[in-house]
Structure 1
Amino acid sequence: MNRTTAEPTRLRSSRTSPWAWLLAGCAAAVFAAGSRWDIPLAAWLLPICLLRFSRASSPALALLGVLAVCLVQIGIYLVASAVPFNAMTIALGLTVGTVYAAPFALDRTLGVRLSGAARILLFPVAAVAGEFAIGAVLPLGTAVGMRAITQGEELALLQVISVAGPYAVAFLIGCAATIANRLLEEPDSRSARRWGVAFLTTLAVIVAAGQARLAFNPPSTNTSTVKIAAITPDRDLRIAASDLLSGESLPASAEAVARVSTPEMRARYVLIADQLLDDTRRAARAGAKIVAWSETAAPSTQADKGALLARVAQVARSEGVYVNAAIGVPFERNEVFLFGPDGRQLWRYRKNHPVPGMEPVAPFNNPVPVVSTPYGRLASLICFDGDFPDLARVEADILLTPSWDWPEVSYAHTMRMVRLRGIENGYSLIRPVFNGTAAAFDPFGRTLAMKETLSGGRHVMIVDLPARSVPTVYGRAGDLFAWMCVAGLLALTVLGVLHRRRA
């Protein structure tokens, strides 16, 4: 029988039950879901285990087992991140789980018709295509399931995304899985050993190059820096005045709109603004040249917003600083305004991607603002916008990302997800976060400052950030690598179909 049309080799080197591999994969999925529970090694072990189960089982059983584990993985993410289970999150979870199971299905059905490099590469290019499709089509961006997130603090490895983008990590993990399975299936094969040596050598070169990139660009070389302050409002007062991130759906009820516009609520809004402006003055007098507020730090009614903006402009002018004021109009607006040292408004940016099912403001479609200043080119996104790599790919030196998180998700969101955008595009990034983990990173992803804002009271984080970006291949080429993988998947699919027909 032609070897390429035969059933996949069945665990020649071990008598391990396929169910043991499935259980091991399920255990690894708990710690490879892109959540606060992640262990980087688990993300590499997960596809190895699931491929072993899949290749050693009947097609129907393989598909059901792998899909079950992928859905468990998404469920773990929702639980670990304290995301509520509702119709929308369940539907999105089922969709993402199915997409992440698809590469295993292709390997089990189409892969048996391929051999050599085609057999090795089918799974990794399918994994990249799946991640890319989720990030481009679904309203989740790359927040759920992206393999790069599981490696979010492995900086030497992550330097590869400055060249090939965040999907490169999925490709490496996918290659490791198929080559490891080839070695398990044919431990005495010289070809399998050569593949193993080639992959380990490639991975070692990537990590070594990442280490060299970090070593030859130490923080001490950042002679051009600017002092930036990240400010969050009083936690208890802001939560008491908050309805922007409530459970209300759109369109908001008349009762909800009336509730956020009462004289009592408007008085709270003024008090919060007073505190933010006072902290802005203090930060400026401590040397900050740029002040960035956390997401919707200053709530306001639409009628009162003009007066609030006038106060921000006056403080920016009197203190001679740039102020990125984040203002929220409940059920209507989530936006930021940048004011220059002369008091002029330099940008107005509305959030493009509200959190699905959790943030009752309408999505918007506006370009990321970029403004040239004596401290480099400034740009801004708002919180969840940072989980969309294509949106974050801008030519800037410093990205301001005002955010509002919750305790279960914030550390992973800041330290493992959003920091990837800075490495990809070579800019410094500061994330003022209300109710979570605020941090600032240099263009290589190194943490320059971090502050928990979960305790009561007001929080101010001041940090010296590099004011000049570092050019990256990804910043110029965009998602070229991801598109190459999509093209590779199509080519391998055609090859497998044609080979079957010839057989």
Structure 2
Amino acid sequence: MKSNHRLAATAIGAAAGSAILFFLSTGLRPVPWLTWLAPLPVLLMAPRVGRRAAFGLAVAAWLGGESAMWGYFVDTVQIPVPVAVLIIGGSALLFGLVVLLARALIGQRRPLLATVVFPAAWVTVELVMSQAAPFGAWWSLAYTQASVLPVFQIISVTGIWGVTFLVLLVPAAAATVFAPQGWGRAREQRQTRARRWQPAVAATAVLAVALGYGAWRLHSSHPQTGERVALMASDREIDPTPVESAAGHDLLDAYVGGVQALSAQGIRVVVLPEKAFTADDTSLPTLTGPLSRLAQQRHFDIVVGLILKRDNQFFNAAIDLPADGGAPVTYFKQHLVTGVEDDLTAGHSQAFLPGRQDRWALAVCFDLDFPNLVRDYRSHGASTLFVPAWDFSDDAWLHSRMAIARGIENGMTVVRAARQGALTVSDPYGRVTAEARTSGPSMVSVTAWLPSPASSTLYARFGDWFAWTCVVLFLAGIAVAYVGRSRAGRRGTPHGGSEQLAVRTAPTPETAAQ
């Protein structure tokens, strides 16, 4: 009885430990190295308790960790409470099922398969969420490693799915190595002990290859061009400002003055933030006239974000005003934020700055949460993205790093100017060459040299091949676990632990003799 109480306390401690680690290692400002440890306490405990207990521990751990996002979902981005419950609660249930699958394979003495199926299963969950949910690839453990560039380089081959796989492979291997030996004859136990270190060897080899690739890629030379870009944003007016209003005139004057001050630095493109103004076709010249004249006089392009009313529809637009005085290029945001931009109409077309051999493209903020949009741009020759954006203050680091991830995936430079957030310029390897944060009504600007165009990546060419490989591994794991369970049921032997909290140990000589 005492041992059951001790085991119950240990199990609760494991769930609490994983919850704390997930809480600290995910969310808006994650501690990246803790993500590699977060699932470990629950994974270590799962083979030592019954199925229901293992499922409950995993669900509780994920719920505790993801509770950090509740305020952001409900208050900041104003997701309806039922939807927030579905996101956090649904993902917790899925995490519990993934842990159960790994537990079943460990119980069937398939340590190597259990090690790879656990991360493959979660990659499958993330892939399905990115395809089915309206927020794209926003929801992924991979972004926790955005500041660890040697790890993050693997996304140029695998997409973000490769980072998720690595982060979960390591704790899965550790949990498998230290899993209980289980019941069985002496010969079977010797074979199990001989195989138990295979996951550690495999995980170490995979991690070494990934880190070696990352180090090699970061040390490869990549020259700069002779062209500079500037980003400018202010939080002076939080809501989009009608350009014909007094506040609109004041804001426009502030931007014009700021851009003029930068012109002596040899700027080639200036990027202003998303939804800085509102206009229709009648009032639009009030905005584009002064900016276009300035662009032509100072010989640089100006990209500005605004809400544009056209044909009785409202669009989230980015307009490029060319340096040569040519016709403006207008891009309409393709992916709108559900609940926040339901009154807007989505665009469907790409847009490029005119007169460029290495093509410069336009996108807007949330578009960069969708890997396929940026990959499609890359397939059409884009080498640099100019992105007006609007963060929500708290998520400035995370959202800017998602944009940087799209650049690494496709070998592209990303120039992103956000109000209530971060202004960043990143090269095709994810190195941030310039960064600043907006703060109140003051005008904030940053300049940087543009990197030269990089070669296309394997991810840009082959897309989500790694994620779909993980789907196959996941389905294979389910099939093997099901077959093993059926065989165990026919033999009348344990197939994954009792339904009680009880330690699974090998029999003593006395009990074996009985």
**TM-score scaled by length of structure 2:** 0.82
Instruction: Report whether the alignment pairs 1:131 with 2:126.
Output: yes
Instruction: Report whether the alignment pairs 1:73 with 2:68.
Output: no
Alignment of 1:18-167 (within 5 A): 18-36=11-29, 38-79=30-71, 83=76, 84=78, 86-87=80-81, 88-109=83-104, 112-113=107-108, 115-144=110-139, 146-167=140-161
Instruction: Report whether the alignment pairs 1:224 with 2:225.
Output: yes
Post-superposition CA distance 1:308-367 (Å, at most 9, x none): 234433333332222212112499321101222222346322222333333454351414
CA contact (8 A) 1:294 1:326 kept: yes
Question: What SS does the corresponding residue of 2:138 show, helix, strand or coil?
Answer: coil
CA contact (8 A) 2:423 2:435 kept: yes
Question: What SS does the corresponding residue of 2:27 show, helix, strand or coil?
Answer: coil
Question: What SS does the corresponding residue of 1:335 show, helix, strand or coil?
Answer: strand
User: Which residue identity does 2:322 align to in structure 1?
Assistant: G
CA separation in 2, counterparts of 1:47 and 1:372? 49
Match of 1:400 in 2: 386
Instruction: Report whether the alignment pairs 1:277 with 2:271.
Output: no
CA contact (8 A) 2:278 2:307 kept: yes
CA separation in 1, counterparts of 2:47 and 2:164? 20
Instruction: Report whether the alignment pairs 1:213 with 2:217.
Output: yes
Report which structure shows greater RCO (CA 8 Å, sep ≥6).
Answer: 2
The alpha-carbon distance between structure 1 residues 101 and 398, as it changes in their structure 2 partners (threshold 3 A), is farther
Post-superposition CA distance 1:160-180 (Å, at most 9, x none): 111111110111122212211
The alpha-carbon distance between structure 1 residues 479 and 345, as it changes in their structure 2 partners (threshold 3 A), is farther
CA separation in 1, counterparts of 2:84 and 2:332? 24
The alpha-carbon distance between structure 1 residues 97 and 361, as it changes in their structure 2 partners (threshold 3 A), is farther
Aligned partner of 2:332 among 347, 350, 354: 350
Instruction: Report whether the alignment pairs 1:364 with 2:346.
Output: yes
Match of 2:307 in 1: 328
Larger CA deviation: 95-104 vs 430-439: 95-104
Post-superposition CA distance 1:64-116 (Å, at most 9, x none): 23223222333212336863563243333333444444422332456645724
Instruction: Report whether the alignment pairs 1:177 with 2:171.
Output: yes
Instruction: Measure how far apart 1:413 and its partner are.
Output: 2.0
Identity of aligned residues (%): 24
Aligned partner of 2:366 among 373, 384, 404: 384
Aligned partner of 1:339 among 308, 318, 321: 321
Question: What SS does the corresponding residue of 2:346 show, helix, strand or coil?
Answer: coil
User: Which residue identity does 2:441 align to in structure 1?
Assistant: G
Post-superposition CA distance 1:44-71 (Å, at most 9, x none): 1112122223332222222223223222
The alpha-carbon distance between structure 1 residues 356 and 92, as it changes in their structure 2 partners (threshold 3 A), is farther
Question: What SS does the corresponding residue of 2:228 show, helix, strand or coil?
Answer: strand
Instruction: Measure how far apart 1:126 and its partner are.
Output: 0.5
Question: What SS does the corresponding residue of 2:245 show, helix, strand or coil?
Answer: helix
CA contact (8 A) 1:404 1:434 kept: yes
Post-superposition CA distance 1:225-272 (Å, at most 9, x none): 420011214x22x22xx1x5xxxxxxxxxxxxxxx87x9x72212222
Q: How many pairs are equivalent? A: 464
Match of 2:196 in 1: 192
Match of 1:17 in 2: 10
CA separation in 1, counterparts of 2:334 and 2:356? 28
CA separation in 2, counterparts of 1:182 and 1:345? 62
Instruction: Measure how far apart 1:273 and its partner are.
Output: 2.1
The alpha-carbon distance between structure 1 residues 374 and 349, as it changes in their structure 2 partners (threshold 3 A), is closer
User: Which residue identity does 2:362 align to in structure 1?
Assistant: S
Post-superposition CA distance 1:390-430 (Å, at most 9, x none): 2221312111121111321112222x322111111111111
Larger CA deviation: 77-86 vs 113-122: 77-86
The alpha-carbon distance between structure 1 residues 369 and 495, as it changes in their structure 2 partners (threshold 3 A), is farther
Instruction: Report whether the alignment pairs 1:286 with 2:280.
Output: no
CA separation in 1, counterparts of 2:355 and 2:93? 46
Instruction: Measure how far apart 1:501 and its partner are.
Output: 3.9
User: Which residue identity does 2:417 align to in structure 1?
Assistant: P
Match of 2:498 in 1: none
CA separation in 2, counterparts of 1:372 and 1:55? 61
CA-based RMSD of the aligned residues comes to: 2.9
Question: What SS does the corresponding residue of 1:432 show, helix, strand or coil?
Answer: strand
Instruction: Measure how far apart 1:157 and its partner are.
Output: 1.0
User: Which residue identity does 2:13 align to in structure 1?
Assistant: A
Alignment of 1:427-442 (within 5 A): 427-442=412-427
Question: What SS does the corresponding residue of 1:93 show, helix, strand or coil?
Answer: helix
Question: What SS does the corresponding residue of 2:297 show, helix, strand or coil?
Answer: helix
CA separation in 1, counterparts of 2:47 and 2:281? 59
Instruction: Measure how far apart 1:371 and its partner are.
Output: 4.4
Give the greater-gyration-radius structure (CA).
2
CA separation in 1, counterparts of 2:354 and 2:481? 52
Match of 1:204 in 2: 208
CA contact (8 A) 1:398 1:467 kept: no
